[in-house]
């Protein structure tokens, strides 16, 4: 493991403490992500920021281009009230952690989970400059949302990776778990190019996001 990877891992652990203080009901993310490597590592990352996503640097700064939209995984549209709730939660975290989200890196999926009364919306997003503001470090989070009594609510959230650790993409949602494909760093990987490939599973229980084997 390189010195840069070690610094990012230490910083990410510190940012998790702040994250949990903001959302007291969130499940602590595991100290070391559990990845299940594929048979052979690929040479190049695919469709995910390589170490440092392109985007704004100032805390809370948003992309203003009209073409900037999150990636929707599946054939559906996010209702306006649900989108507003997602923006509210992520925006609050930007201010508290001192990071900045680049909207095109946000990924939204929808599915049916036994822990949700209605459809469950899963959001993966990356905050740049977290945990070390102004640095090249970034942190990836997962947040889940659903409807209760016709109103959108934030259900649960957790840190799931970042620079020096891993990046994830939504693969499937439901019926009992959230499955992600992952790109993780092997010991000799440069910070710009995680070459490991695997997957990760999560469940939502009692308003906590829990990673399972």
Domain residue ranges of the chain, discontinuous segments joined by +:
3-212
Exposed/middle/buried for residue 86 (C-beta within 10 Å: 0-12, 13-18, 19+): buried
How far is it, in rounded angstroms, from Cα 34 to Cα 39? 16
pLDDT at 90: 97
> How far, CA to CA in Å, does 104 sit from each of 101, 107, 109, 199?
9, 8, 14, 22
The pLDDT assigned to 8 comes to 55
Token output for 171: 């693969």
Pairing mode of beta strands 71-73, 107-111: parallel
Average pLDDT over residues 44-61: 47
CB environment 45-80: b (16+ within 10 A), e (fewer):
beebbbbebebbeebebebeeeeeebeebeeeebee
User: What tokens appear for 74 in the block?
Assistant: 């599946």
Dump pLDDT digits (tens) for 75-128.
999 999 999 999 999 999 999 998 999 899 999 999 999 888 889 999 999 999
In this structure, the chain runs to a length of 213
Please give the DSSP secondary-structure letter assigned to residue 121: E
Residues 24-42, mean pLDDT to the nearest whole number: 46
Split at pLDDT 50, 70, 90, the class of 2 is low
Residues facing residue 199 across a β-bridge = 181
Question: What long-range pairs does 28-35 form, CB within 8 A, spacing at least 24?
Answer: 28/158, 29/158, 29/159, 29/160, 29/211, 30/211, 33/160, 33/161, 33/165, 33/166, 33/182, 33/184, 33/200, 33/211, 34/200, 34/211, 34/213, 35/166, 35/182, 35/184, 35/196, 35/198, 35/199, 35/200
Q: What percent of the chain has pLDDT over 90?
A: 58
pLDDT band at 135 (very low <50, low <70, confident <90, very high): confident
Name the pLDDT band for 136 (thresholds 50, 70, 90).
Answer: confident
Which tens digits make up the pLDDT trace of 153-200?
999 999 999 999 999 999 999 988 999 999 999 999 999 899 999 999
CB 95, CB 60: distance < 8 Å: yes
């Amino acid at each position: 493991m390189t010195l840069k990877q070690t610094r990012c891992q230490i910083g990410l652990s510190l940012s998790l403490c702040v994250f949990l203080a903001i959302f007291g009901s969130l499940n602590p993310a595991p100290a070391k992500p559990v990845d299940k490597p594929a048979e052979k590592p690929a040479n190049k990352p695919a469709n995910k920021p390589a170490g440092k996503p392109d985007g704004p640097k100032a805390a809370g700064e948003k992309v203003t281009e009209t073409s900037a939209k999150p990636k929707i995984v599946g054939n559906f549209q996010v209702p306006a009230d649900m989108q507003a709730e997602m923006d509210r939660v992520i925006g609050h975290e930007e201010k508290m952690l001192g990071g900045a989200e680049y909207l095109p890196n946000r990924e939204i999926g929808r599915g049916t989970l036994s822990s949700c009364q209605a459809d469950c919306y899963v959001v993966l997003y990356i905050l740049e400059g977290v945990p070390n503001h102004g640095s090249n470090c970034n942190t990836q989070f997962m947040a889940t949302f659903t409807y209760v009594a016709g109103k959108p609510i934030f259900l649960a959230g957790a840190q799931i990776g970042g620079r020096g650790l891993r990046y994830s993409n939504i693969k499937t949602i439901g019926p009992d778990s959230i499955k992600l494909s992952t790109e993780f760093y092997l010991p000799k990987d440069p910070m710009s190019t995680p070459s490991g490939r695997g997957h990760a599973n999560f469940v939502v229980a009692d308003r906590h996001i829990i990673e399972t084997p």
